[in-house]
Structure 1
Amino acid sequence: MEITKTTPDRDPYLWKQAKARVGFRIHLRSYLIVNTGLWLIWALINVAFRSPDYHGPLFPWPFFAMTGWGIGLVSHYFAVYQNNQRNMVEVEYQKLASR
């Protein structure tokens, strides 16, 4: 069974929203797994391969990946969960109809 097909009893708008929310959850899971891995690599390098003469921590380079990807993740969240496009269109229609 293919996920993109809808049955006649499904609302196409709600089906699209459901797919978007599942897509966001997959995006969030990937973000958490990959960034956890990057921080683990950073920690292992910081402990195992740092020079004996240097006593401070190495630069936390995974922060850049987290920040950049995090901005995209927040944008994805707002697009999926704060998208009231149907209501916005109805409000705009009412404004135009009342002229």
Structure 2
Amino acid sequence: METNQQKDERLWRMAKARTGFRNHLMTYLIINAFLWGIWFLTSDNYHGVPWPVWPMLGWGLGLAFQYYNAYHRDTLGDATREYEKLQQEKERGL
């Protein structure tokens, strides 16, 4: 079982991860809007794939992983459940 201090530390890490994700998302949106603006103002040829798509895809993939880690990953909970399972097995003599 987690102590209150461990829970507070875990919540603090989760809060920092979520805040970091939101800041990263805002940076992503602003920079990519700027890149699309450059492309729109400087491109004579609007056929084919616009070049701002490539940085959006690469950076967006990294942002998706950061989102998952900030909002959907519970590694400490997984470790706690596994530890409790091993403790129960030990108590039963397995």
**Which structure carries more relative contact order (alpha carbon 8 Å, separation 6+)?**
2
Residue of structure 1 equivalent to 2:20: 23
Task: Name the structure where helix makes up a greater proportion of residues.
Answer: 2
Which deviations, in whole Å up to 9, do the C-alpha atoms of 1:47-78 show, x marking residues without a partner? xxx2xxx6x53640000000000000000001
Whether 1:69 aligns to 2:66 is no
Aligned pair count reads 84
Query: Whole-Å Cα distance in 1 between the matches of residues 48 and 40 of structure 2?
Result: 9
Query: Whole-Å Cα distance in 1 between the matches of residues 39 and 55 of structure 2?
Result: 12
Query: Whole-Å Cα distance in 2 between the matches of residues 91 and 12 of structure 1?
Result: 18
2:73 aligns to what SS in structure 1? coil
TM normalised by structure 2 equals: 0.79
Which deviations, in whole Å up to 9, do the C-alpha atoms of 1:8-53 show, x marking residues without a partner? 8x9222112111111000000000000000001101112xxx2xxx
Query: Whole-Å Cα distance in 2 between the matches of residues 13 and 35 of structure 1?
Result: 33
Q: Say what the alpha-carbon RMSD is for the aligned residues.
A: 2.0
